[in-house]
Amino acid sequence: MTTTALEDASAPPTAPGTEWWRTAVIYQIYPRSFADANGDGVGDLPGVTAHLDDLKILGIDAIWLSPFMTSPQRDAGYDVADYCDVDPLFGTLDDFDRMLQAAHARGIRVIVDLVPNHSSDQHAWFQAALAAGPGSPERARYLFRDGRGENGELPPNNWESVFGGPAWTRVTEADGRPGQWYLHLFDSSQPDFDWTNPEVRAEFRRILRFWLDRGVDGFRVDVAHGLMKAPGLPDYTPPADSGSMGGDETDVPYWGRPEVHDVYREWHELLAAYDGDRALCAEAWMPTIAQTALWVRPDEMHQAFNFPYLMSDWNAQTLRHVIDESLRTFAAVGAPSTWVLSNHDVVRHASRLALTAENPQGHGIGPNSPGKPIAELGLRRARAATTLMLALPGSAYLYQGEELGLPEVIDIPDDARQDPTWFRTGGERYGRDGCRVPLPWTADGPSYGFNTTGASWLPQPAEWAHLARDVEARDEASTLSLYTRLLAERRARALGAGSLVWMPDAGADVVAFRNGNVTVIANLGDRPVPLPAGRVIVSSEPLESDTVPRDVTVWIEAD
């Protein structure tokens, strides 16, 4: 076990303003689907350890692991029953320590997922709350309330679960009678904690210390905008078309309450007492960048996911605007901007950027979805979008498999779907399974090298052999080769620590800027645009003339 940051001599300096998280490229590992060492069909921590060299070659700085803690897996691990242990599906605490040490030995930082908004209903505290009955201190750790109506038969308010259906479930009391209701903003197996209770705050300080003492470099904080609820839990009806994790509304009684920031100020202090620039990254689905930036004020978290950037259409004007606003707004609070195009909750950007119909976040796409993407167009745009993103100053997040150009899997059979969204909406929303399909490592072999048995918790498409890592590693034109080149150049030219200067008069459909000695030009229009003078460092597609074709981004060495 280690309490120092990296054992590798490449550890960056820690002077204020140069902390690693300001410029890092952080690769999200979704452990269930990364690599499966024991062959049970679900990826695991030894699988991660076995492939760290591949990530080192790719050129990332850090990994973020989605939850691997003890969990009944009703929401793929975001339902935690024991925050300080590893679920046997993923291995043991020893496996975790070995993975952490192996990552650090390669100069790769490790961030783990922390899920503070809710626990699993199998958590010892929730089980104790059920047993202890109304009015008990055990129930006060969660949000139990009496129901409305003559006999308490109606939920305490009208809130809906993010995954569909009511956000309240009624319990049966010890005497066998229907009793109180508990709040769950997500699945009924995920009861929300009451964060006004000091016991909850103390418990999470203990959990943070547990992982910090093991040597983790930070936390990605799940639903960081949801911990506090408006006093009195007033009714609220979200707009019909709002995305699942946040929506566009302000003044939602359960998202972005001002009291939540005190929690992060406390955590900031707690992390600051450790060496090695430990960091907190907020998953806060707020509608604007200005609101998101509240999570990264100097005494709070260090990073927040830039979801407004992720949600932007493939449109030059939109992108120029969101990039500009991100850099300005995050800089105003002394934080780096982050950039992200894909994660385990959204349609993969190799498909999303070619969708032709509205697709609210969390709804997913399946066989009956309108406006299904054309695969070639989606991949071409995804490569251009990533080439643009990795030239931006700040920190960037990658989601496993995007470096292979994986598309969203659309044709998952109904009976293989796993996302609670699918069940809670009676199949109306497909949910997120399509971006969670296990990775292809080799063109041959069972489950494309995900394991040696062929078992896979979600079926892999029959046509994925050409997207396997071993095939792409041998192909200079592959998406993997493109990502590897981009990351090497980004590092060599210190683009993460750079600054952006817009190129004037580049054209309405073009995003063009300079960062250090690199000129970046992305053509989002229908017609080719002139290629600026200079040596081409990298291009998202091969160039056949001195123009930049549609849906292509080029990096050029500026004088």
Whichever of 120 and 337 has its CB closer to ligand NOJ, that residue is: 120
Residue 6, token pair as written in the block: 């990296």
Cβ-based nearer residue to ligand NOJ, 64 or 96: 64
Find the shortest distance in angstroms from Cβ 462 to ligand NOJ: 27
Helix (H, G, I), strand (E, B) or coil at 142: strand
Our CB check for ligand NOJ shows the closer of 246 and 549 to be 246
Catalytic site positions: 222, 283
User: What residue is closest to ligand NOJ based on CB?
Assistant: 78
- Cβ at position 283, least distance to ligand NOJ in Å: 6
Q: How far is CA 28 from CA 3, 194, 353, in A?
A: 22, 29, 20
Output the smallest distance, CB 303 to ligand NOJ, in A. Answer: 15
Q: Kindly state the smallest distance separating residue 226's Cβ from ligand NOJ, in Å.
A: 8
Closest approach, Cβ 439 to ligand NOJ, in A, equals 18
* 3-class SS string, 188-205: CCCCEECCCCHHHHHHHH
β-bridge pairing 552-557 and 535-539: antiparallel
DSSP secondary structure code for residue 118 in this structure: B
Choice between 345 and 489, CB closer to ligand NOJ:
345
Which letter, b or e, does each residue of 202-241 get, where b requires 16 or more Cβ atoms within 10 Å of its Cβ? ebbeebbeebbebbbbbbbbbbbbbbbbeeebeebebeee
Pairing state between β 218-221 and 178-183: unpaired
Cβ at position 120, least distance to ligand NOJ in Å: 10
φ, ψ of residue 160 to 5 degrees: the values are -110, 150
| Partners of 148 in beta bridges | 154
Gap between the Cα atoms of 512 and 525, Å rounded: 13
The two structure tokens encoding residue 528: 């080719």
121 vs 489, beta carbon nearer ligand NOJ: 121
Contact residues for ligand NOJ, defined by CB under 6 A: 75, 78, 115, 186, 222-223, 283, 344-345
As a three-state string, the secondary structure of 266-334 is HHHHHHHCCCCCCEEEECCCCCCHHHHHHHHCCCCCCEECCHHHHCCCCCHHHHHHHHHHHHHHHHHCC
Contacts of 544 (CB under 8 A, 6+ apart): none
Q: What is the DSSP string of 418-453?
A: --HHHHHTTTSS--SGGG-PPPP--SSSGGGGT-SS
Number of other residues whose CB lies within 10 A of the CB of residue 106: 15
How many CB atoms neighbour CB 136 within 10 A? Answer: 13
CA dist list (Å): 373 to 104, 292, 356, 379, 509? 39, 30, 7, 10, 21
- Shortest separation between residue 460's beta carbon and ligand NOJ, angstroms: 20
Provide the β-strand partners of residue 511: 522
Which CB sits closer to ligand NOJ, 420 or 449?
420
Contact status, residue 347 vs residue 365, Cβ threshold 8 Å: yes
C-beta closer to ligand NOJ: residue 419 or 472: 419
From residue 501, give the alpha-carbon distance in Å to each of 320, 394, 532: 11, 14, 15
- Looking at beta carbons only, is 74 or 514 nearer to ligand NOJ? 74
Report the nearest approach of ligand NOJ to the CB of residue 141 (Å): 18
